[in-house]
Structure 1
């Protein structure tokens, strides 16, 4: 194996492929990054039996075909530190030598024959603009759970119905829902999958090199139970797959109420700043109180702290439609939902103070497809 490749292209591709390598691999070879050089270019791959990544570099100048398996994290660190000059790599017996300018490294290889075979991509289900998908995913993962004891809630449910893709996530205390249009391979496509939120978020963010992102889905009941993504990156095509989560995602759509008795529209930036200030005196696991009233043409008053401890209060103008009410929320969960909204104003919709609020963006001439439902917290008396 012998090839030459641009330093920036190599460093970016190695970092992308190595991003999901396990910190404590069950077997040593799973910490490896597989390098394959052929007439078609250079392919860099990683796989931990759950998530695979494959970056193809078509501009690499391959002199001798071959393959080698080296430490992925070490190679990523080395490539990141190299000078801005072409990189030459040569397999010499049990070691790989890397030369970039006057810098030279020699890396021990691992047995390629022990490395697991990467899974094949399922058949393409459809395509979506990569930047739009990445943004929708960043909104959806806001409400995904992080408790590995409840693995189903650590996923994002992707529901595909014709030309519409819906993303849903919940950790039992909040719920996110966002929709986007896409181009399905068949117009009557109807399928759903539960994808690990962390993998989905990292993948969507990393495949925004331009153009469309291809989504390839084999749902658990119809095949291998994996989902694949293919998009453009520096130097060529990048492809990643991950296994779907097992289990039944809760039926959460009906948690969004069909009508509301009170709605309040507030400037999002002002509300974010006020929550951050007032929350400074909120004790751990206590709520920030929100009181909506029709006084002075509509007003929202935020309070936190109680008793002999520090207290804070702040009022904002709000357009109130409906009855006055007082409720309270976990301040961090409230901020998470607010910052995920794109528009400059936010609508908070209630059925009653003890029921969840539904938050969505309004204004700026944009239609918001993102909704964030948040359970209230008990207020301290």
Structure 2
């Protein structure tokens, strides 16, 4: 095989495909990227039995063919190549990469030992790529990191009519983001009529995929039907890249009742100012020590952290309704991440008191501060004991 390609296009394609490679694998060939040249295209594929990614990019094909090379080594080589047209070819058992006077020779892996890539599931509809990437980033911060509870490390993906909902929870917080999507007219014929479709996708994998597809315009979402071929897979396609991911078993806990707070006190705070204040006072907080927020009817919230020798405090403007005052405390990391996930200029707190749930949502310019749920909400558990 032999082909020529612009260095920038090659780096971008190899980088995207390499995200599917396992960090460690007892099977050497799974550390490889499969390069297929032909018909004016270079196709680069990676597969680790959990995720399969294929990126197609235009290339001048001199001689069609296939080669399997170590993916991370190829990525390292591509990153240091000079800006020039890159010529690649197979010379015996060695894959050569040459550009701008620099030449590399890479050993190859046995192509016949590489597994067959899974087929793409049936397409179900499309969603705006940029909005999808933003939604995934906002929600994934609440996903668990304990691999002994795999389902909590995933993101819930719910398809219901023209609404796509992403959810995540580690049992201490719960993030939800909804966005519009366009389902295919016949995309759900193999599912029960009228039922929403809910699956759980590995959170880290979905984050990488959404980031890779963020500038592709539209993302086509595919999902294997119940009990059909390739059952248990979801796929994402856009801009010459398609990725399949094996779903996690189980379901995330329901959030409907958790988010329904009865007669809460409501506080509205400038988001950026509060986020800055949290970051500052958290400097003196010991590990696992909370930040206390004292909301007052005077129109302020006082943030305090630290004990005995090292303490910090800052006051920020806040509007409180439904109570004369309200004191709550939160894990500073959880609160900081929640605030950073919003893009609205103001954040709305619905508060029940210490040791109880608190619901955050964003208020954009021109929006009324009412009880209508926003497209992005984040639930936190406040600390029971206030210092």
**Normalising TM by the smaller chain, what interval?**
over 0.9
| Cα distance in 2 between the residues matched to 1:196 and 1:219 | 19
Q: CA deviation at 1:14?
A: 0.6
| Cα distance in 2 between the residues matched to 1:137 and 1:220 | 25
Cα contact 1:220–1:244 (8 A) shared by 2: no
Match of 1:201 in 2: 207
| Cα distance in 2 between the residues matched to 1:173 and 1:104 | 53
Q: Deviations over 1:249-299 (max 9, x none)?
A: 2223321025432000011111111111111111110110111121x3x22
| Cα distance in 1 between the residues matched to 2:225 and 2:313 | 50
Cα contact 1:88–1:100 (8 A) shared by 2: yes
The 3-state SS of whatever aligns with 1:13 is helix
1:225 corresponds, among 229, 232, 250, to 232
Cα contact 1:228–1:242 (8 A) shared by 2: yes
Cα contact 1:158–1:166 (8 A) shared by 2: yes
Cα contact 2:89–2:96 (8 A) shared by 1: yes
Match of 2:95 in 1: 96
The 3-state SS of whatever aligns with 1:21 is coil
The 3-state SS of whatever aligns with 2:310 is coil
Match of 2:295 in 1: 292
Following superposition of structure 1 onto structure 2, how do residues 204-283 of structure 1 map, counting pairs within 5 Å? 204-218=210-224, 223=229, 224-232=231-239, 237-283=240-286
Q: Deviations over 1:27-70 (max 9, x none)?
A: 1101101011122521100000111110111x211111110000
The 3-state SS of whatever aligns with 2:215 is coil
Match of 1:364 in 2: 365
Q: CA deviation at 1:378?
A: 3.2
CA RMSD of aligned residues (A): 1.6
Match of 1:327 in 2: 328
| Cα distance in 1 between the residues matched to 2:364 and 2:56 | 42
Q: Deviations over 1:209-263 (max 9, x none)?
A: 332110101266555101100011xxxx001111000123222332102543200
The number of residue pairs the alignment matches comes to 373
| Cα distance in 2 between the residues matched to 1:208 and 1:137 | 11
The 3-state SS of whatever aligns with 1:44 is strand
| Cα distance in 2 between the residues matched to 1:216 and 1:173 | 31
Matched, 1:174 2:173: yes
| Cα distance in 1 between the residues matched to 2:222 and 2:256 | 25
| Cα distance in 1 between the residues matched to 2:280 and 2:89 | 57
Q: Which sections of structure 1, spanning at least 5 residues, go unmatched?
A: none
Change (3 A) 1:144 1:222: farther
Q: CA deviation at 1:110?
A: 0.7
| Cα distance in 2 between the residues matched to 1:220 and 1:26 | 31
| Structure 1 stretch displaced more, 221-230 or 176-185 | 221-230
Q: CA deviation at 1:74?
A: 0.6
Q: CA deviation at 1:198?
A: 0.5
Match of 2:112 in 1: 113
With the length of structure 1 as denominator, give the TM-score of the two structures: 0.94
Cα contact 2:354–2:383 (8 A) shared by 1: no
| Cα distance in 1 between the residues matched to 2:109 and 2:228 | 36
Cα contact 1:160–1:189 (8 A) shared by 2: no
Change (3 A) 1:365 1:331: same
| Cα distance in 2 between the residues matched to 1:143 and 1:219 | 28
The 3-state SS of whatever aligns with 1:305 is strand
| Cα distance in 2 between the residues matched to 1:71 and 1:363 | 48
Cα contact 2:158–2:165 (8 A) shared by 1: yes
Cα contact 1:3–1:62 (8 A) shared by 2: yes
Q: Which sections of structure 2, spanning at least 5 residues, go unmatched?
A: 187-193, 368-372
The 3-state SS of whatever aligns with 2:116 is coil
| Cα distance in 1 between the residues matched to 2:35 and 2:175 | 39
